[in-house]
Chain A
Amino acid sequence: KQEVTQIPAALSVPEGENLVLNCSFTDSAIYNLQWFRQDPGKGLTSLLLIQSSQREQTSGRLNASLDKSSGRSTLYIAASQPGDSATYLCARRGETSGSRLTFGEGTQLTVNP
């Protein structure tokens, strides 16, 4: 059973384009949702954390939103750059799951110069 789903699985865009990555989850009893970036062969870098009481968080060119009722989160990347090329993962922390996160499969983003 896929609890966290990310669409699309892969995305290729030209430099400068604004883009949206999608994350959906089946259980709306969410504590928080976190977005990560993973470069090939590396660990994960935390990008944004949205608590269940928040609707969005912003950091630089990144904006993440959370809609608990629809079970969705989006990561908006403005003015994409080749350095943004990486795999982006969302992870849900449930209200009753302690500190355990459930990860999506990720979206592999390629920004072409």
Chain B
Amino acid sequence: SAVISQKPSRDICQRGTSLTIQCQVDSQVTMMFWYRQQPGQSLTLIATANQGSEATYESGFVIDKFPISRPNLTFSTLTVSNMSPEDSSIYLCSVVEGPYSPLHFGNGTRLTVT
């Protein structure tokens, strides 16, 4: 299965600033996704990162707050903009290699906003 590297693994940020999270995969993958896991909760899909075009956002998530890039089939970034303490979560990159393949996750970025 694909090896997914996510950076940074954790960060502590001040309110009002932005953080960009990187996701690098060691092989070309069909689809890349960004999930959020708030403390004590399960995962919620933020958006599907589309190669060469704008990401597809889920209800409740907007591009101005969570801009996403995917310049090629192995790399994507998620930016958490104008952060507030409510953005403190684990952010996870995930990929699918093919239509019948399982979803695989990176190790996540643990974000704390003070």
Give me the interface of A with B, judged by CB distance under 8 Å.
Answer: 32, 34, 36, 41-46, 49, 51, 89, 91, 98-101, 103-106
Contacts and interface: CB of A to CB of B under 8 A. Distances in A.
Greatest chain B CB density within 10 A among A32, A91, A103 is at: A103
Report whether over half of chain B's contact residues are helix, strand or loop; otherwise say mixed: strand
Contacts of B110: 41
Contact of B6 (A43, A49, A100, A101): A43
B21 interface: no
Interface residues of B, number: 25
A41 B107 CA distance: 9
Greatest chain B CB density within 10 A among A44, A46, A105 is at: A44
Contacts of A101: 43, 45, 103
Contacts of A91: 43, 103
Contact of A89 (B33, B43, B94, B104): B43
Interface in B19-40: 31, 33
Nearest to B40: A105
A44 B92 contact: yes
B40 to A, nearest CB: 9
Interface of B: 1, 6, 31, 33, 41-45, 48, 58, 90, 92, 94, 96, 100-108, 110
B44 to A, nearest CB: 8
Contacts of A105: 41-42
Contact of A44 (B1, B48, B105): B105
